[in-house]
Amino acid sequence: MSESNALFQLGIDLNSVSSSTQAEVLEFPIAHSKEVKAAPYTSTDERTDFFIERDGERFAGTHLIIDLVGASRLDDLAHIEATLRRCVEVSKATLLHIHLHHFTPNGGVSGVAVLSESHISIHSWPEANYAALDIFMCGEAEPHNAIEVLREAFTPSDIRVGEHRRGKDMV
């Protein structure tokens, strides 16, 4: 990906003289990844989906909403990138791409790991020792496995986890 295409559209004019926001954008490409193109689904195609059946329910995926309170290393891009990769690995998911955006002067990070199974996103406020993460995965992935990785990586004083089964009434 070229440097000119590396900046994710955030709705902020970073070239504006009046903007006090400074940003550093890092891309972490995946070696040997292939461009994925979706084909239209027709009624004659054999449907291959990744819906989950658990506890008598059928749903699209598990969405964990995670708050890390009293956490550390929330401004360390390399550490966050490595932690996201480890979360993907232990969750048995497939990483497609990681994009992290580092804000200054506070050092907060917003980013996403795009997965075949969906995504993991992080938004951090190091000045408040707080991070908000979303982990949404479908199929055979095990998103709950990522919680312990986050605990070890950021040593929060508290982890709050909410779970939502996406698409229960739709699939």
Instruction: Give me the helix-helix angle, 146-154 and 77-90, nearest 10°.
Output: 160
pLDDT of residue 10: 35
pLDDT of residue 29: 54
Could you state, in order of their start, the residue ranges of all structural domains in the chain?
Answer: 21-28+51-158
pLDDT of residue 150: 98
Beta bridge partners of 109: 102
Element (H, E) at 101: strand 95-104
pLDDT of residue 3: 36
Known catalytic residues are 118, 123, 138
Which residues have C-beta within 8 Å of that of residue 118, sequence separation ≥ 6?
A: 61, 136, 137, 138
**Which of 99, 104, 62, 105 minimizes the C-alpha distance to 80?**
99
Beta bridge partners of 104: 22
At the topology level, CATH places domain 21-28+51-158 in S-adenosylmethionine decarboxylase (3.60.90)
pLDDT of residue 48: 55
The parts of the chain modelled with pLDDT lower than 50 are 1-25, 32-45, 47
- Mean pLDDT score of the chain, rounded to an integer? 80
Dihedral sign computed on CA atoms, order 113, 67, 142, 81: positive
Tell me the one-letter amino acid at 141.
A
| Structure letter (DSSP) for residue 126 | G
Coil vs helix vs strand at 69: strand
Burial class of residue 42 in the structure, from the number of CB atoms within 10 Å of its CB (0-12 exposed, 13-18 middle, 19+ buried): exposed
Task: Find where tokens 């891009």 sit.
Answer: 77
pLDDT of residue 11: 38
pTM over 0.85: no
Render pLDDT for 89-111 as a digit per residue (tens, 0 to 9): 999 999 999 999 999 889 999 99
